[in-house]
Amino acid sequence: MLSFFRIFLVISSIILITACTSSPKKSGSATLSPKLVAKLQAMPLKNAFPIPVQHVESKQLTDTWGASRSSGRTHEGIDIMAPRGTKVYSTTDGLIASLSPNNLGGNVIWILGPSGSWHYYAHLKSHKRGLKVGDYVKKGDLIAYVGNTGNARHTAPHLHYGLYLNGKGRGAVNPFPYLR
């Protein structure tokens, strides 16, 4: 039986997802299937994810969590360096919730994952052709290519990967310990 908190998270996620996906976007409009959202909410979040960038091994990762950023911000993720165009894979099963670009991340992907987790992939060169909001992806599926868009346009190409446990863009946790 689901606890009150889990029921609250499911309902909140459905409301948030509907709000985030019900209006037209540059990437195409779609709504997320409530049935798939409920399925994901019921799935446990694993404590280890594959590294999302092709040919990158754990010994090559640097923990950039919490590093200083412009305007007094701190880094809410990990930067994974790789050549422009390197393949980016989903770290988990989930639903493509947003493909809309933003000023900081440039070309981004938000994936709603197990247990209401949110996975953020930023500074992408591009998304996989044909990827759209509402698509269900599996762990290891190709979703994008490394770039340096957004506020990373003057840096070396890399993937910014963020993990949020309290909703889209809320409750950031360090993804570094999860990547193996």
| Confidence at residue 24, expressed as pLDDT on a 0 to 100 scale | 35
Q: What are phi and psi of 85, to 5 degrees?
A: 90, -5
| Confidence at residue 30, expressed as pLDDT on a 0 to 100 scale | 65
SS (H, E, C) 50-89: CCCECCCCHHHCCCCCCCECHHHCECCCEEEECCCCCEEE
Q: By three-state DSSP, how is residue 16 classified?
A: helix
| Confidence at residue 6, expressed as pLDDT on a 0 to 100 scale | 47
CB neighbours (10 Å) of residue 92? 25
Start-to-end C-alpha separation, the chain: 32
CA distances, 77 to each of 9, 97, 103, 163 (Å): 23, 19, 16, 7
| Confidence at residue 54, expressed as pLDDT on a 0 to 100 scale | 98
Q: Which residue reads 């754990």 in tokens?
A: 58
Beta-bridge partners for 68: 74
| Confidence at residue 10, expressed as pLDDT on a 0 to 100 scale | 44
CA 100 to chain centre: 12
Instruction: Quote the tokens at residue 179.
Output: 């990547």
Evaluate whether 128 touches 50 at the Cβ level (below 8 Å): no
In angstroms, rounded to a whole number, what is the distance separating the alpha carbons of residues 128 and 27?
Answer: 12
The answer to whether 158 is a known catalytic residue is yes
Burial class (CB in 10 A: 0-12, 13-18, 19+), 79: buried
Catalytic-role residue among 119, 123, 127, 158: 158
One digit per residue, pLDDT tens: the chain, 180 residues? 444 444 444 444 444 444 343 333 333 446 899 999 999 999 999 999 999 999 999 999 999 898 888 788 888 899 999 999 999 999 999 999 999 999 999 999 999 999 999 999 999 999 999 999 999 999 999 999 999 999 999 999 999 999 999 999 999 999 999 998
| Confidence at residue 43, expressed as pLDDT on a 0 to 100 scale | 97
